[in-house]
Amino acid sequence: MLDSAKISVKVYNFGDSKTVIEKFNCSETQAMKALEYTFDSSQREFWDYWTDSDNLKDYFPTRLINGKPMVHVSQEGRSGGWMIVDGISEEDNDFQDFKKDVMEDIKWRCSEECILDAIEANCWWEESAKEYNFITDRWERNYSVSSLKVMATI
């Protein structure tokens, strides 16, 4: 049987609506929606990064077969609150380094700076914002959907 290790990646506090309201001068409802979009996006990016086989090769270079990692990362739990790392034990030094970086990544993604940057970059503070908030025109210019709605009313 293969070794397996677990990391709790649960997040209990993600951003503060008051900080979002102060920074972007938006409603409480919109601030909460912006935080929800940011959390969902951050969670998706987190799992995309940590399950990517190229990234796993960097962390576990001695555990490759034909250039592919023998270590596999997946999520468990109702909301993906546990990272399961198959193919390595919790006592292994490579796992400890991996776990340290995972925890630092979570800390960064939950930081005020990272959260506010994501909200600003995606215009999620705007009243008509959507989670997938940008479209590209035929000239490859990007627009936020909410800004187009405002321009349409002018």
- Is 147 domain-assigned? no
Q: pLDDT at position 68, please? A: 75
Q: pLDDT at position 28, please? A: 96
- Euclidean distance between CA atoms 94 and 151, whole angstroms: 53
- Spans of the chain, pLDDT less than 70: 1-2, 64, 132-138, 140-154
Q: Supply angle C-alpha 109, 110, 113, rounded to 5.
A: 80
Query: Taking the model in full, what pTM does it have?
Result: 0.81
Reported as half-sphere exposure (CB side, CA atoms, 13 A), residue 23 has a value of 22
- Is 149 domain-assigned? no
- Is 100 domain-assigned? yes
| 31-45 confidence digits (pLDDT tens) | 999 999 999 999 999
The total domain count for the chain is 1
Q: pLDDT at position 1, please? A: 46
- Is 30 domain-assigned? yes
H or E element at residue 152 = helix 145-152
- Is 54 domain-assigned? yes
Expressed as residue numbers, the domain containing 26 is 4-126
- Is 137 domain-assigned? no
- Is 67 domain-assigned? yes
Q: pLDDT at position 132, please? A: 66
Q: pLDDT at position 117, please? A: 94
- Euclidean distance between CA atoms 87 and 71, whole angstroms: 5
- Is 23 domain-assigned? yes
